[in-house]
Amino acid sequence: MIERVTKFYSTLFGWQIEKNTSAGFDYYLINTKNDVDGRASSYSGGMIKKRAPADHTVIYVPSVEEYAKKVDENGGKILVQKTEVKDMGYFIYCKDSEQNRFVLWEGI
């Protein structure tokens, strides 16, 4: 399961995800090194095995439509198609390969 979801995010966004066990449990460090339209879009933190439902993460991308195609191609699912937030941008609501929810955000 964790191998599949780390592959999903690595392939989708080009992130480097490394396993770390120094805390006595498996923790996956995420290095994004991404920049969208001159703004930092890195994801600060990592992943652990989900124990209960959690809030979703918002990920800034240059084009929600472009990344929505990649979500489908990599085993994810689009829950809400491109939706406008007036004077702010667009979002697409998704699930990853393990049914975790996240949002793709394209600012204007």
Q: What does pTM read for this prediction?
A: 0.76
Is 61 in the same domain as 99? yes
State how far the Cα of 99 lies from the Cα of 77, in Å rounded to an integer.
8
Is 21 in the same domain as 67? no
Residue 7 has what pLDDT?
A: 93
Nearest to 79 by CA among 91, 66, 62: 91
Instruction: Give the torsion through C-alpha atoms of 80, 85, 86, 89, to 10 deg.
Output: -110
Domain enclosing residue 94, as ranges: 52-107
Is 29 in the same domain as 74? no
Is 8 in the same domain as 30? yes
Question: 10-63: per-residue pLDDT in tens?
Answer: 999 888 888 888 888 888 888 877 555 555 444 555 555 666 666 678 888 999
Question: 53-85: per-residue pLDDT in tens?
Answer: 666 788 889 999 999 999 999 999 999 999 999
